[in-house]
Amino acid sequence: MKKILNEVDQAVEQMVEGLVKTHRDLIYRVAGTRVIARNDKRPGKVGLVSGGGSGHEPAHAGYVGKGMLSAAVCGDVFTSPTPDQILEGIKAADQGNGVLLIVKNYTGDVMNFEMAAELAEAEDIRVASVLVNDDIAVEDSSFTTGRRGVAGTVFVHKIVGAAAEAGASLEELQALGEKVVASVKSIGAALSAGTVPEVGHRGFELLEDEIEVGVGIHGEPGSSREKVMTSHELANLLFARINAELILGADNNIVVLINGMGATPLMEQYIFANDVHKIIAAHGIPIVKTIVGDFMTSLDMNGLSLTILKLTDEKWLDMLDYPVVTSAWK
Amino acid sequence: MKKILNEVDQAVEQMVEGLVKTHRDLIYRVAGTRVIARNDKRPGKVGLVSGGGSGHEPAHAGYVGKGMLSAAVCGDVFTSPTPDQILEGIKAADQGNGVLLIVKNYTGDVMNFEMAAELAEAEDIRVASVLVNDDIAVEDSSFTTGRRGVAGTVFVHKIVGAAAEAGASLEELQALGEKVVASVKSIGAALSAGTVPEVGHRGFELLEDEIEVGVGIHGEPGSSREKVMTSHELANLLFARINAELILGADNNIVVLINGMGATPLMEQYIFANDVHKIIAAHGIPIVKTIVGDFMTSLDMNGLSLTILKLTDEKWLDMLDYPVVTSAWK
């Protein structure tokens, strides 16, 4: 394993320090915790908290800031943060009108965020949560009952973040988040797995002519192992899987997110974007916005995911374009 | 070679198409060329053109937009664009008051941008240029006489871009660009080389315990091949090299750019940022801004570079923070 690291067991600690030193104009670290919170508070605004295992950078700390998250809780690599850490995140986000938790659907996260919510309620902080399960690749997986939460989570952060900034209530934000979750589907593919620093070798091995279709963001098994295919064939395959769920047509405005998994050159992401556009255009489905880049990674995994958001509410587009001040969302 | 590609010889063509489809609100492709130009024009504003070989994404097309470049010319992978392509870029950028070319110091680029400038002058477009040679690793290299231009180039794009937006003249922008070049130094290190699609294998091979210090963004040899070291040791080494040039002290405000080479996880970039901050703080040198991410890549190279800009003019900080509308600069 060759990595830019010091002590492997200090990777997350030192990353959090690096994040805070780099973006001190936007965020701070809650002392004694691995919670990243935004500098500017506004009494009365509903707080938004997300997080989970580290290794998915820029998720989630990169989305902390005006217009998106109030706080992100950074667990160990691919490991849910503990309830007490999440509780600290909730406290940092609380501005008197409740806190919404945006949780990716993994058993550990679900359990720990739930426990943290109970602890917060005991301290008189109102808490609600939204569970994101946009990954259509498989039902149930290594760490999940039901479907996994992956890159679609950032659409929830962004849209709910805009509504929170505009003054929506906790109940409104929860309902909005659930509506977005119902409209967003993702599926990924890996050319190679990521390497957890403390493990020291890739999470799984693929032959030189194999790709893992439907891979999870922790390297969980996908739905099939396929022979290497062209970008266009891969785009066809992933889009067909998503379209089987969303059943898109000419009257559905959609937003497309092409997400690099950490080690995927931007050149290849744009080539894939070109293919996705060609395929969707051939279906006559209008793409109103496309986003390309690394948003929800898996350490140094080489691969990408395709996410499609069906705009069941046209206002969501404005909310996606609502200006934010974060390190990772432009 | 496993990549997300179709025909290898169409990689740049399809990337350019993907770029334009993704960011059609910001940019367009000049028909029949590989020139990416910004949608909004403003008569009288000096145009800014950059470009070079592809494979460095998001450079340079990602910096086209309000507040930065007027146009970027995309050559083949690691190959300078031809003079006629650059001329098309100049024409797209020209709004009546001249065009500044920002050129990275590689023999092919220098020659072709110069030739394009002559062609443009023959069509009565005033042209000036700034040569960027921020890479302190080596004197002369595979494709360069003198020092190479690398990640520091984006500081030139950003600062000169802000001044151009504010109405500076061609002569003023050229002088400003040269002043920035004199104040910015970079050096990189690779854990693994990038793979040019048409070549099909990595540009060079490193043993499992080796890194290439001072590597170029086309995989050119660096200044030494070293045993793997910690992030902190690497930060020490790279900073010492830069400081031997800039001779920084407590009265020098600096801006730090940590640039991922394409396949470097953000987690590792932030760990490195933490080390850089610790080392520079120990020297008592004030860091006024830090930027972390993939800005000038080398396809799927795993590695990073450190760039330091000495703020010889305090106004440069405002110019770096001047709001832009581009796909890659936040």
Report the distance separating Cα A38 and Cα A17, nearest Å.
Answer: 15
Nearest to A17 among B15, B274, B302 (CB): B274
B15·A271 Cβ contact <8 A: yes
Catalytic pick among A23, A60, A157, A218: A218
| pTM score, whole prediction | 0.98
Question: H-helix or E-strand containing A321?
Answer: helix A315-321
Tokens matching residue B95: 């709004």
Nearest to A6 among B192, B266, B271 (CB): B271
| DSSP annotation string for A288-301 | EEEEEE-SS--TTB
Q: Residue A181: helix, strand or coil by DSSP?
A: helix
Residue (of B163, B165, B140, B132) closest to B56 by Cα position: B132
Report the distance separating Cα B105 and Cα B90, nearest Å.
Answer: 19
Q: pLDDT (tens digit, 9 = 90+) per residue, A30-47?
A: 999 999 999 998 999 999
A274·B11 Cβ contact <8 A: no
Longest CA–CA span in chain A (Å) reads 56
| Domain locations in chain A as residue ranges | 12-182, 184-311
Nearest C-alpha in B relative to A294: B266
Under CATH, to which class is B184-311 assigned?
alpha beta
Report the distance separating Cα B154 and Cα A128, nearest Å.
Answer: 43
Chain B closest-CA separation from residue A94 CA (Å): 27
Nearest C-alpha in B relative to A233: B6
List of chain A residues whose C-beta atoms are within 8 Å of the C-beta of residue B300: 263-265, 302
A22·B273 Cβ contact <8 A: yes
Q: pLDDT (tens digit, 9 = 90+) per residue, B209-265?
A: 999 999 999 999 999 999 999 999 999 999 999 999 999 999 999 999 999 999 999
Nearest to A266 among B57, B264, B304 (CB): B57
Catalytic pick among A56, A60, A277, A283: A56
Q: pLDDT (tens digit, 9 = 90+) per residue, B289-311?
A: 999 999 999 999 999 999 999 99
Nearest to A6 among B231, B265, B290 (CB): B231
Helix, strand, coil abundance in chain B, percent, nearest 5: 35, 25, 40
List of chain B residues whose C-beta atoms are within 8 Å of the C-beta of residue A208: 2
Chain A closest-CA separation from residue B326 CA (Å): 9
Q: pLDDT (tens digit, 9 = 90+) per residue, B55-75?
A: 999 999 999 999 999 999 999
Catalytic annotation on A277? Answer: no
Q: State the average pLDDT over residues A161-181.
A: 98
Catalytic annotation on A218? Answer: yes
Return the pLDDT at B330: 78
B211·A17 Cβ contact <8 A: no
> What is the CA angle A154-A158-A164, rounded to 5?
135
Return the pLDDT at A269: 98
Q: State the average pLDDT over residues B107-126.
A: 98
pLDDT for B125 beyond 90: yes
Residue A314 burial by Cβ neighbours in a 10 Å radius (0-12, 13-18, 19+): exposed
Question: H-helix or E-strand containing B165?
Answer: helix B153-165
A266·B262 Cβ contact <8 A: yes
Nearest to B270 among A18, A211, A290 (CB): A18
Alpha-carbon B227 to chain mean position: 28
The structural architecture, per CATH, of the domain B12-182 is 3-Layer(aba) Sandwich (3.40)
List of chain A residues whose C-beta atoms are within 8 Å of the C-beta of residue B270: 14-15, 18-19, 22, 57
pLDDT for A330 beyond 90: no
Catalytic pick among B23, B60, B157, B218: B218
> Count of CB contacts below 8 A, A vs B?
179
Q: Label residue A169 by pLDDT band (50, 70, 90).
A: very high
B57·A267 Cβ contact <8 A: yes
Sign of CA dihedral B170, B172, B177, B182: positive
pLDDT for B197 beyond 90: yes
Chain B closest-CA separation from residue A221 CA (Å): 19
Chain B closest-CA separation from residue A255 CA (Å): 11
Chain B closest-CA separation from residue A90 CA (Å): 24
List of chain A residues whose C-beta atoms are within 8 Å of the C-beta of residue B6: 230-232, 271, 275
Contacts of A31 (CB under 8 A, 6+ apart): none
Strands B254-260 and B287-293 come out as parallel
B265·A231 Cβ contact <8 A: no
Return the pLDDT at A144: 86
Chain B closest-CA separation from residue A6 CA (Å): 5
pLDDT for A1 beyond 90: no
The ipTM, to two decimals, is 0.98
Residue (of B299, B237, B326, B310) closest to B54 by Cα position: B299
Nearest to B22 among A231, A268, A273 (CB): A273
> What is the CA angle A42-A44-A48, rounded to 5?
75
